[in-house]
């Protein structure tokens, strides 16, 4: 083997082989499963007792389960931006929750997670939710080639929904084109005013099979009103109850096609995001209403992917990573009974807050790493973040990134693999207000809440006063220690200010 590797090295130097990092055969396939709005307390392996998640629980038993892992942000677009770029999203203007017709927000030419792995010899694919924009501002035409997009920032293949299921356009994009589009029925999308003669939820609530609780009252598609207006593209429109099946089949097809070489699959599921419309075979399976049912559906997706790996004999050398883009939300715009049907279930578990929140429930998310060839099963409380994937996976694949690549990312590979307890010491949390973690201390800056919000501002962490919590003693963030530990408050405030003022994280590494 040593002689073989030496030969590969010499051949590469002489230009006889592609210039990929050494030892490609030793590197794992990587499947990154990112659920949408799945909470810290939504899974059996994290303490849930009322929603069955046997496939995810099995993944946790066979892998390493993290109890202090974080998305960078408490909402979807910014947290996904951080996963793919290794940069805190708040450093870049325009990374808030995007409309469905937004332009691509990841700059062409910058280092990305898929692009970096592509250079390491991986085939890269994304299936599922995108929500990072497509095309160029002011020039997006859904009836022609749509680019730039995933293929221009490092993916070899994509099959995705452009934004979220509660936003138009409700169609799939495969590589550069809308799938199954009839050119005689062109798509038009607008987020400013109604277009065409499609009915809206606001004007025709009698046509709805699921009524909105706030917003979500524009164009009706499949009996559900969405955010934004759309006309045309009838043959290309998805059916909500089939989303999980469609995405899972596409993910498995990518695995099967690329089984003979290293591959990276970013599998971004729709569940349990709104509108929650489980396939009939999952209806009533959770005992916690429709939100519980779509978590059961998500668990099935995970199980089907694991079964595909087993069938293709890929389990041993495939790293499966499971996480969520942010914390949980129950009522997020539709009257689907999710609040009434919780039945004692606590989506955030012992944490306070959830999606949109500055409390831990906003960014602390499930994270499981399974790689039978190297990762020993267990549980770890090391502090890590999604933003660290870029530099950690660069280390995994033997690549050296320049100083500007993944500027906020840290190489915590040994922590991800369970080989050390050396993770992060500090982390900025972007919820409603900003927060700063330093070890087990947590600071939340004073901030005014929105004037009008259907959710509860206190649960989102807004306060006119500084907030300081000792998470080692008070995981639920119930006792504000600012008055008794003013020096600690001042320290974390200064750390947060330093992070926010630095335009490039490289400056802090010198």
> Smallest Cα–Cα separation from 163: which of 152, 153, 149?
149
pLDDT score at 17 = 35
Token readout for 214 is: 């706030």
**Composition of the chain by helix, strand, coil, percent to 5:** 30, 20, 55
Residue 156 DSSP one-character state: S
Token readout for 27 is: 């590197």
pLDDT score at 502 = 83
pLDDT tens per residue, range 387-405? 999 999 999 999 999 999 9
Half-sphere exposure of 42 (CA within 13 A, CB side): 32
Residues forming a β-bridge with 266: 32, 126
Beta carbons of 429 and 69 less than 8 angstroms apart: no
Res 13 pLDDT > 70: no
Half-sphere exposure of 294 (CA within 13 A, CB side): 27
Res 18 pLDDT > 70: no
Burial class (CB in 10 A: 0-12, 13-18, 19+), 331: middle
pLDDT tens per residue, range 205-258? 999 999 999 999 999 999 999 999 999 999 999 999 999 999 999 999 999 999
> Smallest Cα–Cα separation from 355: which of 58, 19, 23, 40?
40
pLDDT tens per residue, range 255-308? 999 999 999 999 999 999 999 999 999 999 999 999 999 999 999 999 999 999
> Smallest Cα–Cα separation from 66: which of 89, 45, 37?
45
Burial class (CB in 10 A: 0-12, 13-18, 19+), 277: buried
Residues 6 or more apart whose CB falls under 8 angstroms from that of 398 comprise: 21, 22, 23, 120
pLDDT score at 456 = 56
Residue 429 DSSP one-character state: E
Question: Using CA of residue 437, residue 438, residue 443, residue 447, what is the dihedral sign?
Answer: negative
Does domain 427-509 fall into CATH 3.30.1120.10? yes
Beta carbons of 328 and 347 less than 8 angstroms apart: yes
Residues forming a β-bridge with 378: 64
Residues forming a β-bridge with 219: 200
Helix (H) or strand (E) holding 91: none
pLDDT band of residue 459 (cuts 50, 70, 90) is confident
Instruction: Say how far apart CA 299 and CA 303 lie, in whole Å.
Output: 6
Rounded to an integer, the average pLDDT of 363-381 is 98
Instruction: Say how far apart CA 363 and CA 158 lie, in whole Å.
Output: 27
pLDDT tens per residue, range 28-84? 999 999 999 999 999 999 999 999 999 999 999 999 999 999 999 999 999 999 999
Alpha helix positions (H), 328-388:
360-363
> Helix count (H) and strand count (E) of the chain?
12, 20
DSSP 364-427: B--EEEE-TTTPPPEEE---EEGGGHHHHHHHHTT----TTSSTT----HHHHTTS-S---SEE
User: Residue 26's Cα: distance from chain center in Å?
Assistant: 27
CATH of domain 2-187+232-384+391-420: 3.40.720.10
Instruction: Say how far apart CA 354 and CA 390 lie, in whole Å.
Output: 26
pLDDT tens per residue, range 474-508? 999 999 999 999 999 999 999 999 999 986 544 44
Question: Sheet containing 177-178: which strands, arranged edge to edge?
Answer: 177-178, 173-174, 157-161, 123-129, 263-268, 29-35, 318-324, 367-370, 64-66, 378-380
pLDDT band of residue 460 (cuts 50, 70, 90) is confident
Same fold for the domain at 2-187+232-384+391-420 and the one at 427-509? no
> Smallest Cα–Cα separation from 422: which of 434, 414, 431, 433?
414
What is residue 435's three-state secondary structure? strand
Domain boundaries, the chain: 2-187+232-384+391-420, 427-509
**Whole-number percent of the chain with pLDDT over 70:** 92
Residues 6 or more apart whose CB falls under 8 angstroms from that of 488 comprise: 441, 443, 468, 481
């Amino acid at each position: 083997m040593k002689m073989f590797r030496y030969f590969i090295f010499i051949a590469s130097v002489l230009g006889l082989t592609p210039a990929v990092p050494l030892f490609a055969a030793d590197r794992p396939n990587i499947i990154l499963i990112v659920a949408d709005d799945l909470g810290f307390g939504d899974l059996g392996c994290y303490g849930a007792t009322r929603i069955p998640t046997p496939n995810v629980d099995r993944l946790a038993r066979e892998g390493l389960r993290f109890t202090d892992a974080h998305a960078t942000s408490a909402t979807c677009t910014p947290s996904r931006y951080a996963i793919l770029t290794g940069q805190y999203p708040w450093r870049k203007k325009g990374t808030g929750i995007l409309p469905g017709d937004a332009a691509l927000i990841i700059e062409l030419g910058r280092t990305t997670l898929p692009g970096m792995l592509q250079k390491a010899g991986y085939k890269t694919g994304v299936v599922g939710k995108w929500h990072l924009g497509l095309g160029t501002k002011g020039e997006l035409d859904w009836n022609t080639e749509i680019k730039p997009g995933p293929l221009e920032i490092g993916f070899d293949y994509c099959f995705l929904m452009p934004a979220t299921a509660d936003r138009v356009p409700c169609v799939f994009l495969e590589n550069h084109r809308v799938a199954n589009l009839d050119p005689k029925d062109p798509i038009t999308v607008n987020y400013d005013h109604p277009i065409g003669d499609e009915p809206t939820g606001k004007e025709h609530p009698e046509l709805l099979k699921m009524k909105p609780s706030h917003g979500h009252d524009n164009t009706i598609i499949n009996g559900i009103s969405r955010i934004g207006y759309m006309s045309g593209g009838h043959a290309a429109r998805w059916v909500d109850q089939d989303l999980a099946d469609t995405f899972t089949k596409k993910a498995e097809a990518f695995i099967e096609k690329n089984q003979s070489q290293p591959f990276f699959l970013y599998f971004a599921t729709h569940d349990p995001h709104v509108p929650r419309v489980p396939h009939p075979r999952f209806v009533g399976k959770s005992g916690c209403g429709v939100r519980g049912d779509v978590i059961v559906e998500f668990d099935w997706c995970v199980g089907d992917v694991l079964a595909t790996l087993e069938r293709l004999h890929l389990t041993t050398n495939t790293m499966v990573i499971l996480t969520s883009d942010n914390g949980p939300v129950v009522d997020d715009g539709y009257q689907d009974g999710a609040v009434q049907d919780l039945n004692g279930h606590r989506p955030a578990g012992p944490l306070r807050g959830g999606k949109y929140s500055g409390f831990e429930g906003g960014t602390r998310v499930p994270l499981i790493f399974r790689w039978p060839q190297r990762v020993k099963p267990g549980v770890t409380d090391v502090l890590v973040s999604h933003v660290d994937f870029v530099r950690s996976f660069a280390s995994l694949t033997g690549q050296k990134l320049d100083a500007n690549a993944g500027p906020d990312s840290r190489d915590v590979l040994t922590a991800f693999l369970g080989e050390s307890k050396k993770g992060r010491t500090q982390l900025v949390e972007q919820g409603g207000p900003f927060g700063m973690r330093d070890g087990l201390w947590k600071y939340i800056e004073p901030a005014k809440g929105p004037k009008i919000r259907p959710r509860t501002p206190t649960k989102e962490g807004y306060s006119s006063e500084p907030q300081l919590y000792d998470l080692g003693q008070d995981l639920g963030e119930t006792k504000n220690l600012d008055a008794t530990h003013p020096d600690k408050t001042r320290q974390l405030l200064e750390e947060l200010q330093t992070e926010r003022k630095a335009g490039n994280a490289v400056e802090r590494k010198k």
